[in-house]
Amino acid sequence: MVALGVAVGKGSTPIDDWFQDLGDEHRSLGLLLVFTDGRVILALCAIVTAVALAQRRWNLAAATVVTPFLAVMAARLAKRSFGRLKEGGICYPSGHTTLAVVVIAMAVLLVGVATWAAAVAAGVLVLAILGQAVSYHYFTDAIGALFLGSAFVCLAVWLAKLDRCQPGGDPDHTRG
């Protein structure tokens, strides 16, 4: 995320311009903003938290509450640090996209990291990034947010010991 932020600098890039032009030509693509709408994402966050609590998955519930907040705070700090502007507002990385990445990843952890869940999440995130890239943000702002959100998800999985990749449920990876 830092390398991309330094590389793109303070202004638009050719790929950012392409997405902005696409949004100007096809206004209906702005409807994709639903995938990063704060109300939608926070509702999903509440549902994931409630289900995790009902399943007594305390670490996942805690991670679902804490991680989005910390990731958005990091995005806000990064915006001030990079100082990249779009229409007078600081924009790199996208806070809405960061939030969407984190909460959707927590939903995947809730249902289980299966191929179908990862594919649905990836599809939704592509649409979310596209929605931001053709409207409020540059494409590279959304990609930076994808990097930032992914980093926070990895950190949360590690700190909360949410690793369930072993078939026998060996989260510590201690069995042979």
In a domain, 172, yes or no: no
Mean residue pLDDT across the chain? 92
Q: Is residue 54 part of a domain?
A: yes
Choose among 110, 113, 112, 139: nearest CA to 126: 139
Domain of 81, in residue numbers? 33-160
Tokens of 31: 């409807």
Question: Is residue 166 one of the residues assigned to a domain?
Answer: no
Closest CA to 43 of 31, 33, 35, 54: 35
Query: pLDDT at residue 81 above 60?
Result: yes
> How many domains is the chain built from?
1
Judge whether 44 lies within some domain.
Answer: yes
pLDDT of residue 175: 59
Q: How far apart are CA 118 and CA 17, in angstroms?
A: 30
**Is 138 inside any structural domain?**
yes
